Amino acid sequence: MIKLVTLDLWDTLVTDSKSNERKRDLLRTDFIIRTLNLMEDYKAKILDYFEELVESFKHPGEENEWALLPETQLLHLFKEIDACPDVEQFKKILTFYTGCILDKLPVLTEEGVPEVLKTLKEKYKLALISNTGRTPGKVLRRLLKKLGILDYFDMLIFSDEVKMRKPEPKIFLIACEAFHVLSEETVHVGDSMLIDFNGALSAKVNPVLYLPNGNPPATPFVKSLFELKDSMGKYYDKN
Ligand SMILES: [Mg+2]
């Protein structure tokens, strides 16, 4: 019997256009250049760094441990471009870097996300498990609140706060332990085959792949979150 459903955040519940993220990167870059009085030719270097950073988010591992926290992402950047901000400058940059998502919000992947969460919550405990990038859990809570989905969750697990990232098996078991639920009584839903589906499997949690477009590489999958309850019933929650 399934008792707990954990959900991924990015591209499962919430999504953002590439152009939005690019705009934010330009704003972050300009802010860093202004705050540190750097020459304009640093702009390309910083933007290149952001592109590499986004790639490293897709393959979390020991080799890019520095990408786990916004603070260490910035320290890594400053080392690469040979910049030495003082404590005040660093704080100012960090605040802008982590908070600028709130000025132009991402959107829900499907209009009915709140309705889906409400229905799931009637039957299951709900937890969010999110690998964070430039925006930490502290800011993501405010974002979830603004999008109207914060209160559906019994627990929020952000990688920057628990200092581990999916697909590490341990991160999938935090909510199980908190609610005294077995991994086999848990379903994890997410859009990434590597990070969500295989990660959940490695923790013996039942995976469901969220795949709105394209050919499914694995089963079970759903093309809409509205299919989730039926899919879970068919594959995992038979009673
Ligand atoms: Mg995702």
Residue 203 CA to its chain's centroid (Å): 18
Measured in Å, residue 130 CA sits from the centre of ligand 1 at 8
Cβ atoms of 51 and 29 closer than 8 Å: no
177-181 contact pairs (CB < 8 A, 24+):
179/3, 179/4, 179/125, 179/154, 179/155, 181/3, 181/4, 181/125
Q: Are 104 and 28 in contact (CB under 8 A)?
A: no
Cα of 93 vs centre of ligand 1, distance in Å, is 26
CA of 88 to the centre of ligand 1 (A): 34
Contact 193, 218 (CB under 8 A): yes
pTM, entire model: 0.95
- CA of residue 76 to ligand 1 center, whole Å: 24
pLDDT of residue 239: 62
Residues lining ligand 1 (ion), CB within 5 A?
Answer: 8, 10-11, 191
**What local confidence, expressed as pLDDT, does residue 18 receive?**
82
Quote the ligand 1 centre to 145 CA distance (angstroms): 19
- pLDDT value for 56: 93
For the 4-16+107-235 domain, the top CATH level (class) is: alpha beta
Q: What is the pLDDT of residue 104?
A: 84
C-alpha 226 – ligand 1 centre gap (Å):
17
pLDDT value, residue 237: 84
Determine contact, residues 12/116, Cβ cutoff 8 Å. no
Domain boundaries, the chain: 4-16+107-235, 18-103
CA dihedral 90, 91, 97, 102 (to 10 degrees): -170
Please write the tens of the pLDDT for every residue from 152-204: 999 999 999 999 999 999 999 999 999 999 999 999 999 999 999 999 999 99
Q: What per-residue confidence (pLDDT) applies to 93?
A: 98
Ligand 1 centre to CA of 189 (Å) is 9
Report the separation in Å between the CA atom of 39 and the middle of ligand 1, taken as the mean of its atom positions. 36
User: Which pLDDT value is given to residue 136?
Assistant: 97
Per-10-residue mean pLDDT for the chain, 239 residues long?
A: 97 92 94 96 96 93 92 96 96 97 93 98 97 97 97 98 97 98 98 97 98 93 96 88
Using the mean position of ligand 1's atoms as its centre, give its distance from the Cα of residue 61 in Å. 16
34 alpha carbon to ligand 1 midpoint, in Å? 33
Residue 192 Cα, ligand 1 centroid: separation in angstroms? 6
What is the whole-number distance in angstroms between the Cα of residue 27 and the centre of ligand 1?
24
In DSSP terms, 208 is beta-bridged to 189
80 alpha carbon – ligand 1 mean position (Å): 28
Give residue 134 CA to ligand 1 midpoint distance, Å: 14
**What local confidence, expressed as pLDDT, does residue 143 receive?**
97
